[in-house]
Structure 1
Amino acid sequence: MDAHDVKDGSRSAITLVVLAVVFLAAVAWGWSRVTSPFPEKVEAAPCTDTLVSSGEDVAPPQVMVTVLNAGGANGLAGTTMDKLVGFGFGQGKIGNAPKDTGLVSAQVWSDDPGDPAAILLASYLGKGVDIVDQPSGYPGVTIVVGKKFKGVKKGKATVTAQKDSYVCAPPLSTDPDLASSAGRRGPG
């Protein structure tokens, strides 16, 4: 055996060792990927706080609505939501109001009573609807309807913001049928 054969044999052995190390590293990395938990599903925000500058108009498709039933007939919140969505408002949550609400007609709950979205929404609930400074914890503007609520009526097409405000706008739809119906006026 000459020196040349020993040198070639050493190179082959080193090459095999390096390939074995690379193979083991790839197996370890692949195993860690296979056994790692899947990423958590991230829920999309129900609406996005959008700045409306003073003097800009707010229209129903820019407003997310939550409807709570405060002792009215079963399904009153759902019926009210359906009519508001027919006028172009974004659909938020539907549920029951807290037991101590004691409301007999309708109120709009907002953490800013001067909010143009709250004022616009109140115009669809009839005359004399109060906008109450009460955050609800639900997405968008919350309305609470009770036993004597007379139903949704056609309101203002837009309301002009009197000051810079944030409106919780619904996400844009990727469904062309839904997007085209957002601005359509339904029966009231």
Structure 2
Amino acid sequence: MSHVDGKARTRSAVTLTVLAVLFVIGVAWAWSTVTEPFPEPEEQPACVESSFAAGDRITPGNVLVNVLNASKTEGLAGETMDALVRKGFAEGTEGNTAASTTDRGVVIWTTDPDGPAAALLKSYFGPGTEIVEQATAEPGITVVVGEGFPGVKDGKKGVKAKDDSSVCSPPAV
């Protein structure tokens, strides 16, 4: 019987040792996982240059828009941005500026004043809206709203590109 008891004791000791090693490995793995820092969110670009061939349709969702308030009316940039987003435009930044606007109370700043994105955006402000070739610190097209701004109207659901062009579009999610 002592021979059987010795084998059983040896087997029990080996089993307990293996279980103890597995336990220590599990605790070490769990500790390293719990104390690992959270991954940093990947920074998304504000926009990507989307190419459109002549004849391609550009819709509000393809256009990133920024709005600057040049009036004394607090919150005008935010209200205008909200209205443009409801119309389908991609939301850029909003803020204030000391720049002036025309009598219509709105000016569009873009690096491509003859481009389809500017033409589409202009349709939401009316035919007298001035489009100025002007680069800004923010990507996309910038709308400057000032005193006398009548608000955002219903515009075109899309325009066809007359020539090959690129548009600052929101990144695909």
TM-score by length of 1: 0.67
Matching residue of 2:37: 37
Percent identity (aligned): 43
Which residue is 1:130 aligned to? 131
Q: In the TM superposition, what whole-angstrom CA distance separates every residue of 1:152-178 from its partner, at most 9, and x where no partner exists?
A: 344444222221413414868xxxxxx
Is 1:78 the equivalent of 2:102? no
Question: 1:147 aligns to what SS in structure 2?
Answer: coil
User: Mind listing any 5+ residue stretches in structure 1 that lack a counterpart?
Assistant: 173-188
> Does structure 2 conserve the Cα–Cα contact (< 8 Å) formed by 1:68 and 1:142?
yes
Structure 2: runs of 5+ lacking an equivalent: none
The Cα of 1:72 is off from its aligned counterpart by: 4.4
Partner in structure 2 of residue 147 of structure 1: 147
Residue matched to 1:17: 17
Deviates more, 1:40-49 or 1:13-22: 40-49
SS in 1 for 2:109: strand
Deviates most, 123-132 or 38-47: 38-47
1:69 aligns with 2:69: yes
Deviations 1:137-156 (A, max 9, x none): 15x42211223544434444
Matched letter for residue 163 of structure 1: D
Shift of 1:132: 2.0
Aligned to 2:88: 88
Counterparts of 1:44 and 1:61, CA distance in 2:
17
2:26 aligns with: 26
Give the Å deviation of 1:30: 1.3
- Gap change, CA 1:136 and 1:122, over 3 Å in 2: farther
Q: CA deviation at 1:134?
A: 0.6
Relative distance call for 1:136 and 1:159 in structure 2 (3 A) is farther
SS of the counterpart of 2:132? strand
Deviations 1:60-98 (A, max 9, x none): 24333221112342232234334434543334333212x
Deviation string for 1:92-148 (max 9, x for gaps)? 333212x4x34454322234334422221123233251232313315x422112235
In structure 1, C-alpha distance between the alignment counterparts of 2:59 and 2:157, rounded to whole Å: 6
Other structure's SS at 1:14 match: helix
Aligned length: 168
Cα gap change, 1:9 to 1:160, in 2 (>3 Å): same
SS at match of 1:37: coil
Structure-2 separation of matches of 1:50 and 1:80 = 25
Match of 1:119 in 2: 119
Equivalent runs, 1:38-57 vs 2, <5 Å? 38-41=38-41, 49-57=49-57
Within a 5 Å distance, the mapping from 1:149-188 to structure 2 comes to 149-161=149-161, 162-169=163-170
Quote the RMSD (CA, aligned, Å): 3.3
1:109 to 1:6, Cα distance in 2 relative to 1, 3 A: same
TM-score by length of 2: 0.72
Following the alignment from structure 2 to structure 1, what is the Cα–Cα distance between the partners of residues 170 and 17? Answer: 61
